Chains A and B, each alone.
Chain A
Amino acid sequence: MALQQTEFLRRALWHVVSGVCLFFSLGAPALRAAPLTPQESCGRKIYFQGIDCAGKEIKGSIGDLEVSARLQPCASCHGADGKGRPESGQDPGDITWRYLTVPYGHTHANGRKHPGFTPWLFQRAVTSGRDPAGGKLSTLMPRFRMSPASAAQLVAYLKRISTDTGPGVEPTRIVLGSMAPLQGVNAETGNAVRAVLTAYFDDLNQLGGIYGRRIVLRLAATGVGSAMALKSARRLMATPVFALVAPFVPGTEKGLAALARASNVPLVGLLALSVPDDPANREVFYLLPGFEQLEQELMRFAAVEGELVPGKTAVILADDQLQVDVSAAMQGTWQELGIRRPGEFSFSAADGARIAGDLKSRGIDTVFFIGGGEQVLQWIQAADGVEWAPRTFVLGPLLDGGIFTAPARFQGRIFAAYPQLQPELGGVDEFEDFLKRHKLASDHRLIQISAYCAAKVLEDALTRAGRNLTREKLILSLEQFRDFKTGMLPGITFGPNRRIGSTKAEIVCVDLASHSFQPECGKPQRPD
């Protein structure tokens, strides 16, 4: 009996000790990660953006050089964690408050020694470049003109910097956001996206989440119209969320991307048909190519055949918005291919026969048609009306079943580009099993796969970014992706200048005989 009691006490003690250890190793720092106070938030602005709480730029000088803290805020040299980013022999040093105030003082590599800092001594160092012993700081350290109030705010933030994980990251959870329409013509697709994302993160949470943190997915409806969608996005971002995953906002993609940039909210796997290749927008990561890249792939495909003669090629523009999106990308590709930019012609259904007759008389044999599925069909019928069947290259995602009603003259003459999927055996099984387990229909397969893969990419990026999570770390970890396998898409690769994970396109031929898309049904064939 006594032995049993001793064993019981020993085990109880073990659990208590384990619990305390766990508290201090995980819980304690996490518990300190409370939201920033207003003073700390102001300090954060100074530290990262070089502006004070009123939004006023802080200025300073390096020698006789006037510098702006906007261009060189504290974080640029001391890093997001305050521990310093040595570069070219310059060591900006650790300025976390715990380190600055060590009671035994500091001895620098150049022999300079001084006691620890106090708030007043810190303010003096920042404004006049003197350490606590009166010694000169590095000439590279700007002497900032900063008010005592701003200096106090900066100190307040430096005390918190090591536990400042950024908005949406809490001790036990990471809050992510997504958006999809709940009403209108896209409601069904929107619901499919929501269901996939919810199921994916439920699975992840059951496996323990990421570094012990559960994923909380906040879903917002897009509402009607772009203005409403953006309002909803602003509200969602302010809740706050750490990042957005696979938002589906038809017609508001560009607005949402701009908002993500302005709000510094990473956006992974925006489901969009137009995908601007814009590394300047650091926050937005796309998985698949959009119209711009598909059109470029069509041009390269046609050029490989060696039959792309400028005098015999025309670009027909039937949609103003698409023209804006695609034209600039095409211009770059003409240059890349070393081909003089061919003539561009506007198309309207009413004027179709005249345009077709005109182009036929010019000897055009290749047409890049930028327009929707209905317009493609109108164009083809107009060309058929003048007994002419030029090779016609179109954007696949805009086609509908009507394309198979094209006149027989166009057999083997219509080519369409789609984002390439690359399902692997294991990946397909995994996805099918996922749908089955969560009783999800697969009526919107392409967009379900896109949302599923976006969640997968984000999960991996969050894991790579580590437990001490910040948005900047997430972006940097995404930039490290090289040929990441999702099991359903081609390898995903991002980089400092690359925001589209896969640019691969599948070029298919419209087979009017079998009413299907075929890899080849006439010249030009897809190159090996």
Chain B
Amino acid sequence: MFLHRAGRRVGRSCIHQIPENAQMLLCRAKLAAVVAGILLCFAASMVEATGQTAKVPHRSDVRTNRRATLSADPARAQIPDIDVLDQNGNRRHFYRDLVRGKVVAMNFIYTTCTTICPPLGATFGKLQKTLGERTGKDVFLISVSVDPATDTPERLRAWGAQFGAKPGWTLVTGEKTELNRLLRALGVEAASPESHSPMVLIVNDKAALWKRVYGLGSTAALTQNIEQMMAVAPAGASEKRP
């Protein structure tokens, strides 16, 4: 039924000026893309369903970025490769240097936030301890400032140090408009720093999977979600098998 509706919607959107056989091909291609998307959503929702914090999988919770179906490098198209400064004052490319090919968990903080950010920081601190040597190797933690006008690299370094941030946990700030572009792309843009989201975004870039988790929930559940994301095979891996 759903497929049927989806098919009709695709059908209506086809441009009637195109020759009939070309229209048919275009419509089939679109239909195939929709079906592939639904299947991928289902596959991703299976991952989600095993998490404790988000019991109901939703299309918006898991974005599928299969290279084969969208573009040659869709994740990069989704995550702007903006210039950022890390806590040591080093200039980094957000996507290329911090996300590409990795499993990352991101939270969104600002250093003068006193209500929800300390628990968010403490959660990442505990996460880092729990994951041990895998942090910085199999999984990377990123804290993105939502108040870059105030948060200098020095401030971020001091903030991270309170929670025992070690290599493998990168805290980033940058030019405000650029960071806003990043936050918008990640779906966490807020009208003001005070209303920022307490969400943790887990990205498996190789498998092109995103997952959003409540950042103030249990650390054990967050760890479990990250481990599940780490266990997902990279996109295209099955295609490579003989």
Contacts and interface: CB of A to CB of B under 8 A. Distances in A.
Given A64-B218, A71-B162, A92 B155 contact: no
Interface in B127-157: 150, 152, 154-155
Interface residues of A, number: 24
A90 interface: yes
B115 A77 contact: yes
Contact of A76 (B114, B123, B194, B216): B114
B126 to A, nearest CB: 6
A189 B14 CA distance: 86
Interface string A110-132: 00000000000000000000000
Contact of A71 (B116, B118, B152, B218): B118
A12 interface: no
Given A88-B115, A280-B154, A497-B152, A140 B216 contact: yes
Interface string A133-148: 0000001100000000
Nearest to A73: B114
Given A64-B219, A65-B126, A76 B196 contact: no
Interface in B154-171: 154-155, 158, 162-163
A61 B114 CA distance: 16
A67 B150 contact: no
Interface residues of B, number: 27
Interface string A34-75: 000000000000000000000000000011111100011001
Nearest to A79: B114
A209 to B, nearest CB: 32
Contacts of A87: 113-116, 194-195
B116 A65 contact: no
A85 interface: yes
Contacts of B112: 496
Contacts of B196: 88
A89 interface: yes
B195 A89 contact: yes
Contacts of A85: 114-115
A403 B189 CA distance: 58
B217 interface: yes
B198 interface: yes
A67 B122 CA distance: 7
A71 B122 contact: yes
B231 interface: no
Contacts of A92: 115
Contact of B114 (A67, A77, A496): A77
A92 B162 CA distance: 22
Interface of A: 62-67, 71-72, 75-77, 85-90, 92, 139-140, 279-280, 496-497
28 contacts: A63-B217, A63-B218, A64-B218, A65-B119, A65-B219, A66-B126, A71-B118, A71-B162, A72-B118, A77-B114, A85-B114, A86-B115, A87-B116, A87-B195, A88-B115, A88-B194, A88-B195, A88-B196, A90-B115, A92-B115, A140-B115, A140-B119, A279-B154, A280-B154, A496-B112, A496-B150, A497-B150, A497-B152
Given A66-B126, A77-B114, 15 more contacts: A62-B119, A65-B123, A65-B219, A72-B114, A72-B118, A85-B114, A85-B115, A86-B115, A87-B113, A88-B195, A279-B155, A280-B158, A497-B150, A497-B152, A497-B155
